[in-house]
Amino acid sequence: MHIVRAFDEDLKYLSGRIAAMGGLAERMVEQSVAALVHHDAPMAQKVIADDRLLDEAQRDIDEKAIAVIARRQPLADDLREIIGAIRISADLERVGDLGKNNAKRVVAITASRQPVQLFRGLQALSDLALTQLKDVLDVYASRAVDTLGFVRDRDDQIDAMYTSLFRELLTYMMEDPRNITPCTHLLFCAKNIERIGDHATNIAETVYYIATAEQLPIDRPKGDKSHRVTLDVPEAAK
């Protein structure tokens, strides 16, 4: 509680705005993948249109945060709260961009009928990334930062899943050159989703900092090994 009640209201406004952004970003990512799996172009269009709302929300948060800093000269946890809001909104805005990029690829990927197993891995990857984002935003709401242990484990899972998916898509491309167009787009989609997981991890770090004034330890092992994946061309194809 602050002596100036308007200050409390400012802080509440910021966190409420973050929550709304988070909800919208989650929805966009979910819908972009659903549009891919179900070949739903109108839904992809909706995702692309929704991105505007996220951009506007981020600008609003930035302006409001700067105004609060200028007017109230906050210190300690209040200052962390406001700086944290700026950082989280930037991460969420990126999440929205990545979702939008996936949605833009829907038309190219679904131009011809694709076999269903092409999308199964992507669906599983996006479920993991979205669970990460959801759990992290739940911790932002509850401030129960002692439960943040799951973040690193799941980040590793996302990376491992991405590496595996990368390999699988390469296999499809080798099997049949007609797969190259959709699989290349799907590779970018998978990369986008992996990036969404990274942004969720960033948000977790910011939330931890807001609540404890300490940084999460840096030793973040990189589980993404896709930069090392190579596949040999099978004998028959040579």
Partner 1 sequence: MSEQETSKGSRAMAEPPAGRLAQARWTLVAAALAIGAVTAAAGGSWLLAVGALAAVAAVAAFAPRRTRSMRRADSAAAAAQFPLDRLSALRLAAAVPDPLIVFDAAGVIVHANPAAEITFGPVLRGVDLQLRFRAPEMQDLIGKALSGTADGAVVDYAERLPVERLYRVSATPLGDATGLFVLVFKDQSEVRRIDRMRADFIANASHELRTPLASIAGFIETLRGPARDDPAARDRFLEIMQAQTARMARLIDDLLSLSRLEMKPFVKPGETVDIVQVAAGVADALGQRAADAGVVVERHFPAGPVMVAGSRDELTQVFENLLENAIKYGQAGKRVTLTVERAPGAPKPQVDVTVRDFGPGIAEEHIPRVTERFYRADVDSAQKGTGLGLAIVKHILTRHNARLTINSSPGEGAAFVVHLPAG
**Interacting residues toward partner 1 by CB under 8 A:** 12, 15-16, 18-20, 22-24, 26-27, 30, 116-117, 120-121, 124, 127, 130-131, 134, 137-138, 140-142, 144, 146-147, 149, 157, 160-161, 163-165, 167-168
The whole-angstrom separation of Cα 33 and Cα 22 is 17
In the complex, minimum distance from the CB of residue 160 to partner 1, in angstroms, rounded to a whole number: 4
In the complex, minimum distance from the CB of residue 120 to partner 1, in angstroms, rounded to a whole number: 6
Question: What is the DSSP annotation of the chain?
Answer: --SSHHHHHHHHHHHHHHHHHHHHHHHHHHHHHHHHHTT-HHHHHHHHHHHHHHHHHHHHHHHHHHHHHHHH---HHHHHHHHHHHHHHHHHHHHHHHHHHHHHHHHHHTTS---THHHHHHHHHHHHHHHHHHHHHHHHHH--GGGTTHHHHHHHHHHHHHHHHHHHHHHHHHH-GGGHHHHHHHHHHHHHHHHHHHHHHHHHHHHHHHHHSSPPPS-------GGG---PPPGGG-
CB closer to partner 1 out of 44 and 130:
130
In the complex, minimum distance from the CB of residue 74 to partner 1, in angstroms, rounded to a whole number: 19
In the complex, minimum distance from the CB of residue 230 to partner 1, in angstroms, rounded to a whole number: 12
In the complex, minimum distance from the CB of residue 201 to partner 1, in angstroms, rounded to a whole number: 17
In the complex, minimum distance from the CB of residue 92 to partner 1, in angstroms, rounded to a whole number: 10
The whole-angstrom separation of Cα 122 and Cα 153 is 19
CB closer to partner 1 out of 140 and 172:
140
Q: Are 216 and 206 in contact (CB under 8 A)?
A: no
In the complex, minimum distance from the CB of residue 22 to partner 1, in angstroms, rounded to a whole number: 5
CB closer to partner 1 out of 131 and 202:
131
CB closer to partner 1 out of 27 and 39:
27
Residue 219 CA, distance from chain mean position: 21
CB closer to partner 1 out of 112 and 117:
117
Nearest to 22 by CA among 126, 123, 98, 96: 96
CB closer to partner 1 out of 101 and 126:
126
CB closer to partner 1 out of 106 and 145:
145
